[in-house]
Amino acid sequence: MISFEFILPPLIGCLFIVLINVYFGIHVIKREIIFIDIALAQIAALGSVVGMVVFNISEHDHSHGSSLLLPYLFSLGFISIASYAFTTLKHRKILIPLEALIGIAYAVATTLAVIVLDKSAGSDVHVHDMLVGTIMWVSWKEVLQLGIVVIIVGSFHIIYRRKFMMLTDSLPEACKVLKYPRLWDFLFFFSFGVVVIEAVKIAGILTVFAFLVIPAAISTFVQRSWTAKLITGWIMGITASFFGLIFSIKLDVPSAPVIIVLLGLFLLGGFFVYKAKSAGRQIDV
């Protein structure tokens, strides 16, 4: 029997990520900017790398919390610049899809980080860690930190949910109704970026991305309203995290792939439910 205490911190960590990411996932799929999370994660990483280089902080200073504040502020700064660019360039005069700009930002951020870190050894390992994360070894302190960020951003989005939903559902309408549509759009990207920084630190880009896209995709197949989608996504995400973590310990394999495979299976299930439903509808007609 696996000791429950051991699995609790990663499970609570996953829970927070699922709660917020399913919500953002529904937005992101509707807006067709799927890779925004990987891009923001990489832009934040570039920010912290630049911050470290500017203030000459070595990566091994992790023990001193205060020395990491400056790189964090740099991350936030870079994310706000990116959010500003994404918000401003989503314009009818610019005929390229936003996802293309997001992709380019991702590529540039990654390669610039490589240029900055050029001489530092072991960057392969760094890339690997950032992809996979180490959620199994997360501490209560880190979970708490994530929890606080999720609760703050989450409440912000609950309070102003109508504005954010309108921006995603129909931009022209939002531009008519809202006083500052671009400001709210900026806040959407920026708040998501803040969440991504914390989530990726704990769970790695891959797991965070999986929680963002797959549960929301499942609920897109089987549900229509925002509330029903959210609840379906949450159930899928939390179930996959719970069994994923347990299997990962039992089989002694990394947790990220196991969670993803489980989510993938759920998605397949959701797809068949959708097929069955639409086949049923066709017979009705």
Partner 1 sequence: MIDNLIFLAPPIVSTVILAGVLSYFGNHILSRGIIFIDIAVAQIAALGTMIGILIGFAEDSVSTQLISYGFTITIMILFSMMKVRKQVLPQEAIIGIFYCIALGMALLLAEKIPGGSNYITKTITGNVLWVTWRNIIHFTLLFIPVIILHLVFGKNIREVSLNGSGSGENLGRTKLFDLLFFITFGIVIVKSVPIMGIFLVFVLLIAPASIVKIFVHKWRARILWSWLVGSVGSVAGIYISYITNISNGPAIVSLLGISVYLVAFYKLFIHSPKAD
Residue 179: CB atoms within 10 A of its CB come to 7
What is the total residue count of the chain? 285
As measured in angstroms, the least distance from the Cβ of 106 to partner 1 is 8
Specify the DSSP class assigned to residue 225.
S
Q: For partner 1, give the closer residue by CB, 71 or 270.
A: 270
User: Least distance (Å) from partner 1 to the CB of residue 234?
Assistant: 18
Residue 77 CB, shortest distance to partner 1, in Å, is: 17
Binding site for partner 1 (CB under 8 A): 29, 32, 34-35, 85, 88-89, 91, 93-97, 99-105, 107-108, 110-112, 114-115, 118, 124, 127-128, 131-132, 206, 209-210, 213-214, 217, 220-221, 253-254, 256-258, 260-261, 264, 267, 274
CA dist., res. 69 & res. 63, Å (int): 12
State in angstroms the smallest separation of the CB of 64 from partner 1: 29
Q: How many helices (H) and strands (E) does the chain have?
A: 11, 0
CB-nearer residue toward partner 1: 141 or 275: 275
Is the Cβ of residue 89 or residue 158 nearer to partner 1 in the bound state? 89
Q: What angle do CA 10, 12, 13 make, to 5 degrees?
A: 60
Nearest approach in angstroms of CB 155 to partner 1 is 27
How far is the C-alpha of 284 from the C-alpha of 78, rounded, in Å?
53
Q: 203 and 258 in contact (C-beta within 8 Å)?
A: no
Q: Considering the complex, what minimum distance in angstroms separates the CB of residue 126 from partner 1? A: 9
Least Cβ distance, residue 197 to partner 1 (angstroms): 20
Question: In this complex, which beta carbon is closest to partner 1, that of residue 75 or of residue 220?
Answer: 220
Residue 265 falls in which region: left (phi positive, over 0), alpha (psi -120 to 50) or beta: alpha
Distances (CA, A) of 27 to 135, 219, 236, 253: 25, 12, 17, 32
Pairwise CA distance, residues 153 & 193, whole Å: 10
Cα(229)–Cα(42) distance, integer angstroms: 28
Q: Which CB sits closer to partner 1, 149 or 207?
A: 207
Min dist CB 179 to partner 1, Å, is 22
Cα-based angle 13, 39, 89 (whole degrees, multiple of 5): 130
Rank residues 57 and 127 by Cβ distance to partner 1 and give the closer one.
Answer: 127
Q: What angle do CA 145, 149, 152 make, to 5 degrees?
A: 140
